[in-house]
Structure 1
Amino acid sequence: MKDEAKNVPVVRFNGFYDAWEQRKLGELGEVTTGKAFSSTNFDAQGEYLVITNKDISDSSRSQNVMTDRISVSDDEIIQRYNLGGENILVTMDGVNLGKTAMYSDDKALLAQRVGRIKSNQLEFIYQITSSNTFLTVMRKLSVGNAIKHISLKQISDYSSIVPKDIVEQQKIGSFFKLLDNTIALHQRKLDAMNQMKNGFLQQLFPENGEKFPRVRFADFKDEWEQRKLGEVGDFYYGKSAPKWSVTEVATTPCIRYGELYTKFGAKIDRIYSYTNIPKENLKFSKGSEVLIPRVGEDPLDFAKCSWLTIPNVAIGEMISVYNTNQNPQFIAIYFRAKMRLEFAKRVEGGNVSNLYYSYLENILLSLPPSEEQVKIAELISQIDNIIILQRNKLNKLNILKKAYLQNMFV
């Protein structure tokens, strides 16, 4: 009785009371793999997509992908390896080993080293195979030196505790399919907003060497003025506030350079860290500074600059501080949109790189009138706010799904 009590989920649909039972994937469905197509037969104009392990980079409900193509005339091969209908695909080797996807396309064929699961309870099984537990077990079972791999038997033998009643499996599968579709919808909305923002950034700023953007607000017709960074502002470095000084009991708000990469967008309006360094050893903001990371790993990331809107915040070392007579929010957006390559060209160092502000002072900017700067900054800020709201909705849905998975499975 105690074992049966353990094999019951916390949350169930009404009308189901029996304990769940241990079953292998091979008992819940049919596990097969694809054909060893020769890459010499691939043809960009081929009739069929060839789905390989590189096409399953994340556990998801995949749609058609841009990948290799092939023409096949053998009806037996087409029938055996065609991916029409619903399929769960499992990557059997390489860097994506153990990752799974739902896939359906009658104009696609399955390649070797990708497992396929067919079942009349596919939606339920997908919640098992897309879990971190399945991924972890498959990677632990993998063998090989240069390229790790798993076998069809290892996939088939993977066991999980499942409902005895097929109807309960169906209800659980349908519930999570609806939740997954809702998550996918919000992800598409977020992607669309990011694409729209990138489109605006491309159109609202002139190309290098040009003096007019492609798109402007009404009533602005003058050409943008080219000025050097050092002509419209000045730099200094932040001071102290090392990692060891940031504690839960410290009281002095601070910004550390790593947070420019991980916490903030073009505007800083919230503080995450507090330092216990004496105030006389710190440098504080006035609420108009643009912060530029001075240390990093990827040269293209140094343009992740932010306008610090809050006064009396300690600015940590490894940050270049830019005070400008231009609109600081516009400048931060400008740096992020147009200065990635310019900053990257001036980075020095190897694994840990440095960007000294003295190398930035001669960079040319194209600057519109201050009123136009404000309008551009306001527009991008509004889009950023919508993106943040959409991302928060998506995060909440993912948290909700995680909670349901913990409570609706044993």
Structure 2
Amino acid sequence: MSRIGLSSDILPVGCSLCATYCWISSFITFMLNRTTLNASTSCISLTDLLKKKTLPETDFPFIYIQSCIENPIKPLVVNILCKIYAWEQRKLGAVYRNIRNAFVGTATPYYVESEEDGYFYLESNNIKEGQINRNAEVFINEAFYQGQRDKWLHTGDLVMVQSGHVGHTAVIPKELDCVAAHALIMFQNSIDNINPYFTNYQLQTLESKKKLDYITTGNTIKHILASEMKQFTVDFSATIEEQTAISNFFLTLDDAITLHKRKLDGLKELKRGYLQRMFPQAGENVPQVRFSRFTSDWERTTIGKISDIVRGASPRPIQNPKWFDKNSDVGWLRISDVTEQNGRINHLEQKISQAGQSKTRVLRTPHLLFSIAATVGKPVINYIKTGVHDGFLIFLNPKFEQEFMFQWLEMFRPQWQQYGQPGSQVNLNSELVKAQEVYLPANEEQTAIGDFFRNLDVQISVQQQKLSQLKRLKSTYLQKMFI
């Protein structure tokens, strides 16, 4: 635990009609499982401090915060030391001397294969959630790039998406100095005492998003004008020191989010790779990778021979409220639940009534299910009492290990597209599923494979929860640290 005081050369807190002074000095730690703020009678937590309209009359408003964070990230410590004045509302046109469009028009004739042949071209798909990503890259030739010289972006400039996912912003980093851009609004040549990252995070708050929605035009494709952004008002801290402290706080949080996102993506990619290598692919009767203690051949069969497959049922008309009862202990499974819980159903918001249960199939123990509508081909396991919609098949009396077949169906999921026409929705039925060939190993090997992937799924789920928690933390502080 750390106790941080203020240097003696800073004036104490005072009251004023035009400005309020206080000093906040703290170590802020992001707990992946919790954030703990400990305060004594002479201390105040950052969260409580931010709620207050009048600040405490004390020379040293200490904040005690326990400092710890789990691996794999090194301890995240952010030091905020700032003097808070009344914030000022300004139009962005008064903050940035140039607010204009980047190149708008057809650029495809100038595309080249790689950065070795030309220059990276910044587009709207590269701007998301306050950051620049290079997940999709486009490159332009020398002549076109040089022709955009008067619109090159420079370090510290701000850009905004003007069509599609409008309002997303990012700051140009040092490594993209002199980059050319397409269909973005550019905010350049800011006045002194403006931190571009402060503006970037201010535009990510709910209040700013509401104001952006108000000036957005278009129904199918949303659009926003550079001229509108000149009149757009934003609250700015009066001091560059406070702007920088707040910006650094969120930059550190964004770094943590990025690291956890990479780890999550890595785990998902690892699973995709093992799914392809631990189940036989087309033309194979054994997988490429096996546990060393197993050497027996896998047996070819069909899904219909290893399970009794029946379809769920839905009461009609489904909108009738008599089919549902919030006090029931039987949940009603819908496609949206499958998407949200990634196929492992541990809770269901909607409950089905006794009348509704008589019109559907109710499962009171875990079963393997399979979606044949909307999210086609998604395997599901219910871990609670569940009424099954007619958009699912149920595997009864299985002659396989449940987790093994759940993972096999996940691996095979893209292959169901063969039953649909290009551009049309795939339609599956029980007969198609029953006829599908599958190779099965002995039960012991099925169990080992199922356990392997279930453990991997647990790691993915834990990592997803950590990432979601960090994003929620950022969202909360965006609302509390900006006006």
Select the structure that is richer in helix. 1
Aligned-partner Cα distance in 2 for 1:145–1:292 = 36
Change beyond 3 A, Cα 1:359–1:188: same
Partner SS, residue 158 of structure 2: strand
Change beyond 3 A, Cα 1:346–1:247: farther
Partner SS, residue 329 of structure 1: helix
1:21-41 Cα offsets, whole Å, 9 max, x none, are 111223333434434584333
Amino acid at match of 2:51: V
Aligned counterpart, 2:276: 202
Amino acid at match of 1:196: L
1:299-331 Cα offsets, whole Å, 9 max, x none, are xx3211112345x54434432211211011211
Partner SS, residue 49 of structure 1: strand
CA displacement at 1:189 relative to structure 2: 1.3
1:120-170 Cα offsets, whole Å, 9 max, x none, are 501101102234544443454345798654333322321112211221111
Matched, 1:24 2:91: yes
Matched, 1:88 2:158: yes
Matched, 1:334 2:408: yes
Matched, 1:189 2:263: yes
User: Residue 287 of structure 1 contacts residue 309 of structure 1 at CA under 8 Å; is this kept in 2?
Assistant: yes
Change beyond 3 A, Cα 1:173–1:263: closer
Amino acid at match of 1:374: T
What runs of 5+ residues in structure 1 fail to find an aligned partner?
none
Moved more, 236-245 or 126-135: 236-245
Aligned-partner Cα distance in 2 for 1:44–1:90 = 26
- 1:390 maps to which of 463, 466, 469: 463
Aligned-partner Cα distance in 2 for 1:147–1:302 = 28
Change beyond 3 A, Cα 1:183–1:339: closer
1:318-362 Cα offsets, whole Å, 9 max, x none, are 3221121101121121112113323x44469x9987532123211
Amino acid at match of 1:51: L
Aligned-partner Cα distance in 2 for 1:75–1:111 = 9
Q: Which has the higher contact order (CA 8 A, sep 6+)?
A: 1
- 1:34 maps to which of 98, 102, 108: 102
User: Residue 160 of structure 2 contacts residue 167 of structure 2 at CA under 8 Å; is this kept in 1?
Assistant: yes
Partner SS, residue 274 of structure 1: coil
Aligned counterpart, 2:354: 277
Aligned counterpart, 2:300: 226
Partner SS, residue 283 of structure 2: coil
Aligned counterpart, 2:6: none
Aligned counterpart, 2:371: 293
Aligned-partner Cα distance in 1 for 2:276–2:429 = 27
Amino acid at match of 2:263: K
- 2:238 maps to which of 164, 173, 178: 164
Q: Percent identity?
A: 22
Aligned counterpart, 1:176: 250
User: Residue 371 of structure 2 contacts residue 378 of structure 2 at CA under 8 Å; is this kept in 1?
Assistant: yes
User: Residue 325 of structure 2 contacts residue 352 of structure 2 at CA under 8 Å; is this kept in 1?
Assistant: yes
Aligned-partner Cα distance in 1 for 2:145–2:418 = 55
User: Residue 237 of structure 1 contacts residue 321 of structure 1 at CA under 8 Å; is this kept in 2?
Assistant: yes
- 1:252 maps to which of 312, 316, 329: 329
- 1:10 maps to which of 51, 73, 78: 51
CA displacement at 1:114 relative to structure 2: 1.3
Amino acid at match of 1:398: K
Partner SS, residue 275 of structure 1: coil
Moved more, 138-147 or 369-378: 138-147
User: Residue 99 of structure 1 contacts residue 135 of structure 1 at CA under 8 Å; is this kept in 2?
Assistant: no
Matched, 1:60 2:130: yes
Aligned counterpart, 2:167: 98
Aligned counterpart, 1:155: 229
Partner SS, residue 284 of structure 1: strand
Aligned-partner Cα distance in 2 for 1:78–1:318 = 53
Q: How does 1:299-318 map to 2 (within 5 A)?
A: 301-310=375-384, 313-318=386-391
Amino acid at match of 1:20: W
User: Residue 239 of structure 1 contacts residue 317 of structure 1 at CA under 8 Å; is this kept in 2?
Assistant: yes
Partner SS, residue 252 of structure 1: coil
Aligned-partner Cα distance in 2 for 1:67–1:252 = 50
Partner SS, residue 474 of structure 2: helix
Moved more, 193-202 or 333-342: 333-342
User: Residue 312 of structure 2 contacts residue 390 of structure 2 at CA under 8 Å; is this kept in 1?
Assistant: yes
TM-score normalised by structure 2 residue count: 0.72
